[in-house]
Amino acid sequence: MKVYKFGGASVRNAEGVRNIASILQKTEDKVFVIISAMGKTTNALEGVHEAFMANRNERARERWREVLDYHLGIIGQLFADEHKATVENSLLPLTDEIVKIIDNSAERDDFDKFYDRIVSFGELMSTTIISQYLNLQGGVDNLWVDMRQLLVTDSRFREAGVNYTITARNICEVVGRCDKRVIVGQGFIGANPSGCTTTLGREGSDYSAAVVASVTEADSVTIWKDVPGILNADPKHFDNTVKIPCLNYLDAVELAHSGAQVIHPKTIKPLQNKNIPLCVKPFGQPDQEGTIICSQQTQQMNVPIMILKQNQILISIRPNDFSFVLEDKLSEIFSLMGQYRIKINLIQSSAVSLTVCVDQSRHIDRLIDQLQTEYKVAYNDNLKLLTIRGYDEELFTRYADSEDAFLVQRTRRTLRIVLKA
């Protein structure tokens, strides 16, 4: 079996959905298809959630209506008249459910839990529409599955961890029993053991695809994207970018972790563990090679890879009493960061101080307040982190020697610089 993942950009309009049908028609393999929410739906649903949490029900319903209209527009373009009503009606249970959530007067206490309940509707809608399109008009007989019943997670809402054992049992059971060639399921979403909807973190559909591939020991995963493959740098920020034909798992995971937005950082581990290759292919040109990520790089790369991670904050932490930070305080500081779900991107230490570069997040202020009860804390925000793998002296001079560089770390292969944004 193969696993295909189609992201939001690939399914943002009717043409994208037709293209999925054409890609699926071209393969004879059994395929488990993982699909994201259409276009910018997740952002829009974050708006619904925001209004909902602020007790602005009217506003929440209005924003939901915009999301729904966008989907109805796509249905209008996609389906022949005889099918339109059926497909529109198939969204009704979802509409009822979300309106019920919005109008429920129960206390809006758990921000993250409600986030997952509301935002998950993006994937539920996209797959409901696409699965029917494939069945009714696209010539691809398929089974729609609700990943909330298959992908079981812990209860860390918005960043749930997957229970591989139960998930494997559930998914293998469905795959074994399904007599259709194609199965269509949602990326990004799952549920905890009591059935509450969870999500795997923004852009988490890649990870869903990797989980499905891992538990079914699939032959490969293909992530279909609106780029020709993995480029050595983001063309929005750098000139003369080139496509990388092949990467090993280690480079890929470093790249993803440093902020390359082509694949979700958690995607690589389950694939590496089972030695399943990952292809990143251009949605618009399915016959092109794209990039292959596997255990062994077949082609040496001779271009530097540049990754820019935005919204960084550099925090320096010093014990008031001159304790050695690495010996006495490290685990305490790290456990605090774990508690606030702060992701550390770079660390530097001296005898009595620890400096970390982390993603700006809504928990940062609370973390800093908490740290300040025991440590001297200084920070700079509005920074970006540039990682260059395979840098040369010219790149070093250009970026690390600049006045904007707050912190520079280099090994023989990798250069990392925290810069003013």
Question: Which parts of this chain interact with Mg ion (CB under 5 A)?
Answer: 7-8, 36
Taking the least distance from each CB to ligand ASP, the nearer of 157 and 375 is 157
Task: Please tell me whether residue 319 binds ligand ASP under the rule CB under 6 A.
Answer: no
Task: Please tell me whether residue 197 binds ligand ASP under the rule CB under 6 A.
Answer: no
- Considering the complex, what minimum distance in angstroms separates the CB of residue 282 from Mg ion? 16
Rounded CA-CA distance 178/175 in Å is: 5
- Considering the complex, what minimum distance in angstroms separates the CB of residue 198 from ligand ASP? 13
Task: Please tell me whether residue 68 binds ligand ASP under the rule CB under 6 A.
Answer: no
Which amino acid makes up residue 318?
Answer: R
Taking the least distance from each CB to Mg ion, the nearer of 259 and 319 is 259
Rounded CA-CA distance 291/39 in Å is: 23
- Which position among 205, 222, 312, 355 is part of the footprint of ligand ASP (CB under 6 A)? 205
- Considering the complex, what minimum distance in angstroms separates the CB of residue 117 from ligand ASP? 15
Taking the least distance from each CB to ligand ASP, the nearer of 271 and 317 is 271
When CB distances are held under 5 to 8 angstroms depending on the partner's kind, the choice from Mg ion, ligand ASP, none that residue 290 binds is none
Q: How far is CA 379 from the centre of its chain?
A: 28
When CB distances are held under 5 to 8 angstroms depending on the partner's kind, the choice from ligand ASP, Mg ion, none that residue 188 binds is ligand ASP
* Backbone φ, ψ for residue 144 (5° rounding): -85, 130
Task: Please tell me whether residue 203 binds ligand ASP under the rule CB under 6 A.
Answer: yes
Q: How many CA atoms lie within 13 A of 76 on its CB side?
A: 6
- Considering the complex, what minimum distance in angstroms separates the CB of residue 37 from Mg ion? 7
Burial of 186 (0-12, 13-18, 19+ CB in 10 A): buried
- Considering the complex, what minimum distance in angstroms separates the CB of residue 158 from ligand ASP? 11
- Considering the complex, what minimum distance in angstroms separates the CB of residue 126 from Mg ion? 10
- Considering the complex, what minimum distance in angstroms separates the CB of residue 76 from ligand ASP? 22
When CB distances are held under 5 to 8 angstroms depending on the partner's kind, the choice from Mg ion, ligand ASP, none that residue 270 binds is none
Residues 10-39 that bind ligand ASP (CB under 6 A): 36-37
Q: ∠ at Cα 24 (186, 277), nearest 5°?
A: 70
Taking the least distance from each CB to Mg ion, the nearer of 7 and 282 is 7
- In the complex, the residues that contact ligand ASP under the rule CB under 6 A are 7-8, 36-37, 42, 122, 187-188, 202-205
